[in-house]
Amino acid sequence: MDDKISGSCHCGLINFEIKNNPKFTVNCHCDDCKRRNGSAFSTYASVDESDLVFAEGENHLKKYKVENSGEKYFCSECGSQIYNKNYRIPGLFLVFYGALSQPSNFTPTFNVFCSSKLSWVDDINKIKSFQESVQK
């Protein structure tokens, strides 16, 4: 790895580094991710648990237990999601792309739970787009 991978929550209380490149990157289209994250899908970088190192603010992490499937960790101040622990993939953390400082460095390599994917996601490039916010 040439460049340091870093990230933070929105308010800056939590800062972290990832020691090695992600094992894989993924878009998850499950209904749980959509509901919890308020988005069409979630994108994660999967890293070894030992590779996620907190530079500051680890004490500001709060945990939400997701039934029997895992745990979500987020900033207690701003609510930014930092990572998930999925019990089906022990030893790995799923770091939210939104928490990464340079998420564009890692392109998702596959999609999961496509049976729940919203119909318009495949055609997202056909939707009218603007470089910045639309003015009224």
**In a domain? residue 38:** yes
Mean pLDDT, the chain, whole residue set:
92
**In a domain? residue 12:** yes
**In a domain? residue 132:** no
**In a domain? residue 127:** no
**In a domain? residue 48:** yes
**Does residue 118 register a pLDDT over 70?**
yes
**Does residue 134 register a pLDDT over 80?**
no
Closest CA to 49 of 95, 88, 81: 95
pLDDT at 69: 86
**Does residue 2 register a pLDDT over 80?**
no
Q: Is the pTM higher than 0.85? A: yes
* Tally of structural domains, the chain: 1
**Does residue 3 register a pLDDT over 80?**
no
Show the DSSP H helices in 18-128 as ranges. Answer: 31-37
**Does residue 71 register a pLDDT over 60?**
yes
Taking only the tens place, the pLDDT of each residue in 11-45 is 999 999 999 999 999 999 999 889 888 899 999 99
**In a domain? residue 33:** yes
Taking only the tens place, the pLDDT of each residue in 73-115 is 999 999 999 999 999 999 999 999 999 999 888 899 999 999 9
Those residues whose C-beta lies under 8 Å from the C-beta of residue 54, and which sit 6 or more positions away, are: 14, 15, 16
| Cα distance between residue 132 and residue 125, in whole Å | 16
Cβ–Cβ under 8 Å, residues 28 and 37: no
Structure tokens at 101: 């400082």
pLDDT at 43: 94
Please state the length of the chain. Answer: 136
pLDDT at 1: 42
The parent domain of residue 94 ranges over 5-117
**In a domain? residue 128:** no
pLDDT at 93: 97
Radius of gyration over every alpha carbon of the chain, rounded to an integer in angstroms: 15
| Cα distance between residue 27 and residue 25, in whole Å | 7
Cα–Cα distances in angstroms (integers) from residue 34 to residues 93, 111, 113, in the given order: 19, 14, 11
**In a domain? residue 70:** yes
Q: What is the CATH number of the domain that holds 50?
A: 2.170.150.70
